[in-house]
Amino acid sequence: MNIKRCLTLTRAGIIESLQFRLGALVVVAGNLLYLVVIYHLWQAIFASVGTETVNGMTFTDTLIYLVLATALFNFMEMYVVWEMGHAIQTGEITIQLLKPMKYRSYMFWSYSGTAVTQFFFTFLPTFIIVAIVTNGAIPLGLNLLFFVISVMLAISINYSIDFLTGTICLYTESTWGINIMKQVIVLLMSGATIPLAFFPEPLKTIVNYLPFQSIYNAPLSVLLDGNPEPAKLLTTLGIQLFWCVVMNIASRLFWKLSLKRITVNGG
């Protein structure tokens, strides 16, 4: 694959998303408001128990976990399902299929630009503010490196799931419903709404066998663990890699099969 071609798409995406600087400001403000709500809610929750840690998580851990999960969501959410559904409904997809590039990579690289700007304008500010507010509760060491690796794997898994969901739109011609179902399942099962540590037993085991926990729970637990045991770290990243490969293959295969069925209205 021609890397220059991909980076051109990234660049175009960056320029395009820079048009909406005010949007980034609103997103960061929204994250801060969420921080306030989450802070008070979990403070009240922990106060009602009276112990320092619940299920191995302190109040600060929970706070960092949840706010950064939202920040991660903001920059990983590429609205792929939305775009694909729109392209299918309007027939725009025919033009995109004719491009001298695989549709899957074309979509990914056109969105990578937005991801880059979102990272610098929404994730990083939120991260820094959280680090300051929690007074150094985020361990800053080698774990940051592993966190970055883990996030990259998470982006890939998330994209595969999005692409898979988007492909379903070829069959249903419905976007909103499919997208919201995907979003709800991913956010709940990945620990982005409530940290997985709090899940009651049978549910916790089930969730651990699903790919979703690799998207938010894995990178965040890597980040929060200051000096991890090598075995535990390797398992987390290994599982992520496994899902990354599996979902990648699954989404490619499903797309290939579905493309034969494509119907485009009008013309």
Positions that interact with other proteins (CB under 8 A): 20, 22-23, 26-27, 29-30, 33-34, 36-37, 40-41, 43-45, 47-49, 54-55, 172-174, 176-181, 184-185, 187-188, 193-194, 198-200, 203
Shortest separation between residue 19's beta carbon and other proteins, angstroms: 8
Select 85 or 153, whichever has its Cβ closest to other proteins: 85
Shortest separation between residue 55's beta carbon and other proteins, angstroms: 7
Q: The tokens of 145 are what? A: 């490196």
Select 45 or 257, whichever has its Cβ closest to other proteins: 45
Rg of the chain over Cα atoms, rounded to whole angstroms, equals 20
Q: The tokens of 22 are what? A: 């005010």
Select 55 or 94, whichever has its Cβ closest to other proteins: 55
Instruction: Note whether 112 and 9 are within 8 A (CB).
Output: yes
Select 34 or 106, whichever has its Cβ closest to other proteins: 34
CA dist 134 and 129 (Å) reads 8
Select 40 or 102, whichever has its Cβ closest to other proteins: 40
* 3-state SS assignment for residue 54: strand
CA dist 64 and 42 (Å) reads 11
Select 1 or 47, whichever has its Cβ closest to other proteins: 47
Q: Residue 129 CB: number of other CB atoms within 10 A? A: 16
Shortest separation between residue 77's beta carbon and other proteins, angstroms: 11
Shortest separation between residue 251's beta carbon and other proteins, angstroms: 20
Q: The tokens of 76 are what? A: 């990983």
Residue 53 φ/ψ, nearest 5 degrees? -115, 145
Instruction: Note whether 110 and 12 are within 8 A (CB).
Output: yes
Instruction: Note whether 125 and 25 are within 8 A (CB).
Output: no
